Amino acid sequence: MVKPQGIITPVITPMHEDESLNLQELRAQVNRQIAAGVKGIFCLGTNGEVYALSTEEKLTVMQTVVEEVGGRVPVYAGTGCIRTSETIELSLAAKRIGVDALSVVSPYYVAVSQDDLYACFSEVAEAVDLPIVLYNIPARTGNNIDYKTVKKLAKYENIIGIKDSSGNFDNTLRYIENTDPRLAVLAGNDSLILWTLLAGGTGAIAGTANVFPEIAVKIYDLWSAGKMAEAKAEQFRLRPFRDVMAMGNPNSVVKRAMNILGYPVGPARRPVSLSNSQAIDEALKKVLELYR
């Protein structure tokens, strides 16, 4: 069974200027992340613009990542859709491709109750024999996966953890304190990586690792070594970049930063490709100087 721990990178999906997939650069980014010491590659997450990809493109991205990783680290794939049946179909396809674990976001757009969420995740867990990491991102889905729902879902052995991108640290603490100690709780907000580890979490799925994988890995490695002051200093280093991310769509800002640093990952898909604005470019160039 996969054990989600350490820094897992929700890898971006590189594109050409016409917004078609750039699979060559995707392979390059996978290798860059593994060389930096991350403990997993997560494709088709929010940073991977899963919401903007067709089913065929999702399958292509999964296949490419699985091939390039070649078993060096676990591959996680985001397969959550609005319809439960579609989530199951995509999850079964992911298993055939060879991913190691699924990340399943709660249904979005449609209003759902906690009972609906429990039923949805239960059906997926029963239908797909792969480890599952639940994905809580209420700002994008419109609902928060309550810790009591997660506690009930822990009866499924293949539900192995949850990524909390709520930004509410008390919500993360509830998962750690009041669910099942077997479950891995992962930070989804990069400002909370160290604090989640100190509280009993196991790591982070860190979008900023696309830009600064070495910093994210250092936070985890220094924490593991008991070097709290050094780990805290590395955690604080992420704040200036995180502040610039708040100036626009975070995925777009991450991609723009990578382009500025010389990685040809292309634009984010419209309508969110707003990161070419002069103000964001100027802010990025200033803040990136802090990391040289």
Of the candidates 251, 122, 119, 135, which has an alpha carbon nearest to the alpha carbon of residue 186? 135
Determine the Cα–Cα distance for residues 102 and 51; give it in Å rounded to an integer. Answer: 16
Question: According to DSSP H, which parts of 70-192 are helical?
Answer: 84-97, 114-127, 138-141, 147-153, 169-178
Give residue for tokens 């439960």: 84
Kind plus residue range of the DSSP H or E element containing 7: strand 6-10
Determine the Cα–Cα distance for residues 101 and 113; give it in Å rounded to an integer. Answer: 26
So which residues are the catalytic ones?
A: 135, 163
Residue 259, CA distances (Å) to 59, 82, 120, 264, 270 in order: 25, 32, 38, 5, 17
Residue 145, CA distances (Å) to 79, 87, 202 in order: 17, 17, 19
Determine the Cα–Cα distance for residues 274 and 272; give it in Å rounded to an integer. Answer: 6
